[in-house]
Amino acid sequence: MLRHQDDAPATVAEPAPLIELRGVDKTFGPVKALSGFSARIGRGEFVTVVGPSGCGKSTLFNIVAGLEEPDPGGALRFEGQSCHAADLLGRVSFMPQRDLLLPWRNVIDNAILALEIEGRPRKEAREEALRMLPEFGLAGFEAQYPHQLSGGMRQRVALMRTFLFERDLMLLDEPFGALDALTRTLMQRWLLDVWQRHRRTILFITHDVDEAIFLGDRVLVMTARPGAVKLEQRIDLPRPRRPDLVTAPEFIRLKRTLLEAIEEESLKSFQIAEEKA
């Protein structure tokens, strides 16, 4: 919470952001997915991104994960240095929407996949993963295969794989989207707990406003396509965040502001669709 002492607006420069995007565009043929997207994410910050569906959230993530190059013109800086998206491959730990576990690998071997690719000896990587199992609620399940696990457990294995791949920036793309509401809130609290201990920088996509506020230090609301930042909302709710926070008046106030912004954008994307039709 060190960086959050000043009450200055979020647009004021913060010291040395871990990653910075400035005026990033991305077009796929006739479709403009991102237009002038700008954001700065500081070290150790938990930033959540919400927006109407089809607003280019996934495109944004693919760029930050290094999988997709933005159109020429925008600026991408990582650790203070200007870089190409491809330079980020192997430097960001990325967790896609689906767990994407390999069905022929058991829990441990799925968790160490990224370490193995880095060239770490398997034995050493397995030992490290074994030590981490209890924290992820997977103690005793190391030899199980993905088809033997519940959805929530599979998701935790995928998260563990992301955490074991120790990179400063973690990208989580709707990691709890496919879970039922109860498991989801449990996983959110658990994620905050783990994050507070490991202190990584997290960029988290969601379409659930509650989730965005509950988890984030800052929420970025995206515009309808082409995606840009519509609103940047600092969440000054105290940590550790308790489950009953979601009913607190400050929480509701923030939620109202965010929902208004999102709804405006959702309506816009509907209108665009109607005009085209």
Contact 146, 101 (CB under 8 A): yes
| Residue 99 beta carbon to other proteins: minimum distance, rounded to whole angstroms | 10
- By CB under 8 A, is residue 121 in contact with other proteins? no
Backbone angles phi, psi at 222, to 5 degrees: -95, 150
Contact window for other proteins (CB under 8 A) among 14-22, 124-132, 140-148, 260-268 = 140-148
By C-beta, is 4 or 91 nearer to other proteins? Answer: 91
By C-beta, is 32 or 167 nearer to other proteins? Answer: 167
- By CB under 8 A, is residue 62 in contact with other proteins? yes
> What residues between 25 and 54 interact with other proteins by CB under 8 A?
none
Among 15, 29, 30, 103, binds other proteins (CB under 8 A): 103
Structure tokens at 166: 């120790």
- By CB under 8 A, is residue 82 in contact with other proteins? no
- By CB under 8 A, is residue 116 in contact with other proteins? yes
By C-beta, is 173 or 265 nearer to other proteins? Answer: 173
CA dist 135 and 137 (Å) reads: 6
Strands 75-78 and 17-28: antiparallel
CA dist 107 and 130 (Å) reads: 10
CA distances from 270 to 53, 168, 175, 222 (A): 11, 37, 26, 15
CA dihedral 110, 114, 117, 121 (to 10 degrees): -70
> What residues between 152 and 171 interact with other proteins by CB under 8 A?
165
CA dist 94 and 101 (Å) reads: 13
| Residue 102 beta carbon to other proteins: minimum distance, rounded to whole angstroms | 7
Report the 10 Å Cβ neighbour count for 267.
12
Contact window for other proteins (CB under 8 A) among 5-13, 141-149, 179-187, 233-241 = 141-149
Structure tokens at 254: 């923030």
| Total of residues contacting other proteins (CB under 8 A) | 28
Among 10, 31, 102, 248, binds other proteins (CB under 8 A): 102
CA dist 215 and 250 (Å) reads: 14
By C-beta, is 48 or 93 nearer to other proteins? Answer: 93
Stated as kind and residue range, the H or E segment containing 45 is: none
Among 10, 16, 75, 117, binds other proteins (CB under 8 A): 117
Which residue from 105, 171, 160, 101 is spatially nearest to 129, judged by alpha carbons?
Answer: 160
Question: Residue numbers of the site for other proteins (CB under 8 A)?
Answer: 62, 65-67, 89-94, 96, 98, 100, 102-104, 113-114, 116-118, 143-148, 165
